[in-house]
Chain A
């Protein structure tokens, strides 16, 4: 992927809606993600982040609205979308019986890479898994498993990578590992849509942040934009920047408890 700006956004979502029975999970989502950016989709548990990602990854049909991935409509051209994207789901979908190398080779073959073994070796090096390459994935730590999972997702150079809550359930050290990985991806120019309920994660990794609440994107912008949304303090006794958490709670009405990780 190149990092040059391109007129077609990586993701363009308009009026996307999806219900499960009576529950209107997505209620007219609009979202644009620039190519080569890391875009965080922030929302509490059950806000519909996973539903949105699943629609974008062609795993779920929307009830209404359109979603374009690299210009391909997810409903009308799902195969083209699948050739463009990669999804790392909420739970690391690695094959525990296979070794790390075999997992990577499996994906390389499914993506029709000519040199599956070479691709796997390169990924093992890039993700610091060389020593564990020939061990069954079931013996991996949470962080290693996630790294393997992300490495599998990157085979075939997908233009767009969906990371659905990549650090949920990981210990702080493993979380740091994954963050470093995502920062590296951003530097390489891959478009990343990252869902998270951790505000710190969004602050740390994302160029742009969208807050999904009540089935819609209620705020979208850079961290600075989001900070600027808060009214310039009434009377502040302590000089401090509003954290993203302050912004989040202010825009969603303050009643949603988000899991904020220990502040840095």
Chain B
């Protein structure tokens, strides 16, 4: 990852003339991002709708799948409670539904001229974008903690040590970051609020066509083939393995590769779209 002063912030400007008037220093950049981050975090806490959907929707799915469908779903024989099997997939769904609000919040800032207004301040032009991305990370982290908390109440238990937990947090953070940069693109380009947040709906289907709810070997051929070769399956399997304290093997590396690849592509595209908006 690059810092807030690189990328757009510096490429948009000519080299500084030396007296400090012409450049935005690192401290100033960090300060700008921090102020704008505080602002968009306040949006998150003041908009109950976003909290309800990002945290409670996955919790509801967790309850539904465990207590309503759970007994009918034969998960792998080696897993104990179905909640242990299900949780990784629910965590990924939490992130997917969370990032649609990132797109929505960014869209509103573009439409209402807030993004452009920040461009006339002595902060990097990308500061507002970084603020939204960091807000997405923080908001999703809160939702994920809530979901894990509920799962614990429902009997979820993990044999994972600190290193495994760290790996789980790392994978989820990377997944969130990659999807957040993906969400920046509709956030910048959409012409309606629905268009901005609607891009996440197809993504919400991915966990259902993966090993998140049921093992892929129960699926018909073509579906199983798709499920076994998409990022959510490797992520869900890797996180499940880490939480269970069992060896995860290649799944973790595959998941890492998927997320990193997606992150790079989304970041490059998002910054290109953003730069084009700079006139």
Are the C-beta atoms of B22 and A80 separated by less than 8 Å? yes
Are the C-beta atoms of A79 and B122 separated by less than 8 Å? yes
Q: Is residue A180 within 8 Å, beta carbon to beta carbon, of the partner chain? A: no
Report A-chain residues with C-beta under 8 Å of the C-beta of B47.
97
Q: Is residue B59 within 8 Å, beta carbon to beta carbon, of the partner chain? A: no
Report B-chain residues with C-beta under 8 Å of the C-beta of A107.
121
Which of B108-116, B174-182, B245-253 is near enough to bind chain A? B108-116
List the B residue with the shortest CB-CB distance to A93: B113
Mask: chain B, 19-45; 1 = CB below 8 Å from A; 0 = not: 001111000100110011001001100
Secondary structure of the A side of the interface?
Answer: loop
B14's partner among A54, A76, A102 (CB-CB below 8 A) is: A76
In whole angstroms, how far apart are the Cα atoms of A125 and B112 in the complex?
Answer: 26
List the A residue with the shortest CB-CB distance to B114: A93
In whole angstroms, how far apart are the Cα atoms of A109 and B36 in the complex?
Answer: 9
In whole angstroms, how far apart are the Cα atoms of A83 and B114 in the complex?
Answer: 18
Report B-chain residues with C-beta under 8 Å of the C-beta of A95.
39, 112, 114
A59's partner among B17, B32, B123, B279 (CB-CB below 8 A) is: B279
Are the C-beta atoms of B21 and A89 separated by less than 8 Å? no
Q: In residues 109-149 of chain A, which contact B (Cβ within 8 Å)?
A: 109-112
List the B residue with the shortest CB-CB distance to A83: B122
Are the C-beta atoms of B35 and A109 separated by less than 8 Å? yes
Are the C-beta atoms of A112 and B120 separated by less than 8 Å? no
Q: In residues 101-147 of chain B, which contact A (Cβ within 8 Å)?
A: 112-114, 116-123
What are 16 pairs between A and B in contact, CB < 8 Å?
A59-B116, A59-B120, A59-B279, A77-B17, A78-B12, A79-B13, A83-B122, A87-B117, A87-B120, A89-B116, A97-B46, A97-B47, A106-B39, A109-B31, A112-B31, A112-B122
Closest 8 pairs between A and B when the two form their complex, measured CB to CB: A93-B113, A60-B279, A93-B117, A109-B35, A80-B21, A110-B121, A87-B120, A83-B122
